[in-house]
């Protein structure tokens, strides 16, 4: 039984991502794979007028906190009932709720973070104040002494250790994030490693590192900007030199083949950016990534 949620978050335009994927035929494609799909609809996130935090340059913290709490509850319920959750963003701050909700259902899960960016800035290391650049910092136990307590985030219990995370596709990492990655020893396969070793070795190394026994539930958090901008132009922070669709599909096929892929985030599809052709290209790339997470195989 496959379930998917749609969420929208603070970054303008990404709230239209889920509908763009629905209109692109997502449900029909997943049902065409023989899956029992249920669309749980959008997770409501009331906006907060006074949504700024005087002490820190963090944008929309209360909005993101409310959304994250709602997302966590929904993801927990779906996974607890034995289903697989597909969470559609929305910007990548959605992963605060989806990973926390997943961890409540399956505390032993590991995270494969596919992204041009590390998304592990703390409110203090962030240069933009955008929360889509911070999700992992709210979840990683080792970082908690450095995280300012933001209003509304009291519900989150840090649920990941650095050893539970592996990055694939990095190519735009801030200095503060680079420091955190090196200090915590987070396993990261940037585009340099993808070029040097090839995607097959990268996925094998990542999974062997995260789960050598091959028993843990997997959370794939896939930022569409991990793909090359030629494949995902309608996204907020594109970075040249990204994954090919073959590499993206390969990651998803391999994780799906474990039979332990339990929650998938698809983040940062933003149809308000670029022209109609850009939207179509981006949605089709996202649909390809999704279908290869849920049984679609290039060999049929
Ligand atoms: N680290 C960032 C942050 O804002 O925190 C800064 N970066 C943009 C910045 C532009 C100038 C050159 C250095 N990079 C975007 C990233 C967040 C991406 C969020 B994601 O969900 O799209 O991954
Ligand atoms: Mn991201
Ligand atoms: Mn990104």
Query: CA 209: distance to chain centroid?
Result: 20
Lay out the sheet containing 2-7: strands in order across: 37-43, 2-7, 84-88, 261-267, 218-223, 110-114, 165-170, 187-190
CA of 117 to the centre of ligand 3 (A): 4
ipTM above 0.85, yes or no: yes
- Give tens-digit pLDDT for 104-139: 999 999 999 999 999 999 999 999 999 999 999 999
- Give tens-digit pLDDT for 213-254: 999 999 999 999 999 999 999 999 999 999 999 999 999 999
- Residue list, ligand 1 pocket, CB within 6 Å: 91-92, 115, 117, 119, 121, 126, 128, 130, 132-133, 172, 174, 223, 225, 237, 267-268
Instruction: Work out the pLDDT band at 68, boundaries 50, 70, 90.
Output: very high
Instruction: Work out the pLDDT band at 154, boundaries 50, 70, 90.
Output: very high
| Contact indicator for 167, 186 with CB cutoff of 8 Å | yes
């Amino acid at each position: 039984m496959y379930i998917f949620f749609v969420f929208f978050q603070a970054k303008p335009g990404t709230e239209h991502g889920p509908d763009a994927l629905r209109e692109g035929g997502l449900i029909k494609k997943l049902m065409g794979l023989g899956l029992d799909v249920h669309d749980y609809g959008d997770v409501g996130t009331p906006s907060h007028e006074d949504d700024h935090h005087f002490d820190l340059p963090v944008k929309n913290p209360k909005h993101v906190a409310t959304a994250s709490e709602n997302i966590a509850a929904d993801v927990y319920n779906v996974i607890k009932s034995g289903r697989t959750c597909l969470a559609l963003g929305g910007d990548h701050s959605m992963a605060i709720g989806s990973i926390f909700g997943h961890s409540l259902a399956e505390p032993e899960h590991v995270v494969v973070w596919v992204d041009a960016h590390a998304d592990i800035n703390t409110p203090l290391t962030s240069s933009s104040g955008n929360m889509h650049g911070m999700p992992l910092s709210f979840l990683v136990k080792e970082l908690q002494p450095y995280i300012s307590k933001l209003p509304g985030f009291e519900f989150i219990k840090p649920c990941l250790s650095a050893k539970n995370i592996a990055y694939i596709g990095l190519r735009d990492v801030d200095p503060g994030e680079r420091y955190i990655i090196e200090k915590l020893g987070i396993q990261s396969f940037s585009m340099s490693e993808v070029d040097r070793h090839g995607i097959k070795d990268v996925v094998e190394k990542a999974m062997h590192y995260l789960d050598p026994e091959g028993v843990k539930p997997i959370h794939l958090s896939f930022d569409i900007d991990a793909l090359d901008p030629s494949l995902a132009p309608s996204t907020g922070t594109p970075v040249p030199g990204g994954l090919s669709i073959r590499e993206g599909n390969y990651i998803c096929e391999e994780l799906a083949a474990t039979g332990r892929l339990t929650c998938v985030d698809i983040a940062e599809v933003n149809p308000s950016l670029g022209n109609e052709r850009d939207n179509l290209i981006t949605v089709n790339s996202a649909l390809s990534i999704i279908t290869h997470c849920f049984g679609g195989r290039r060999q049929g």
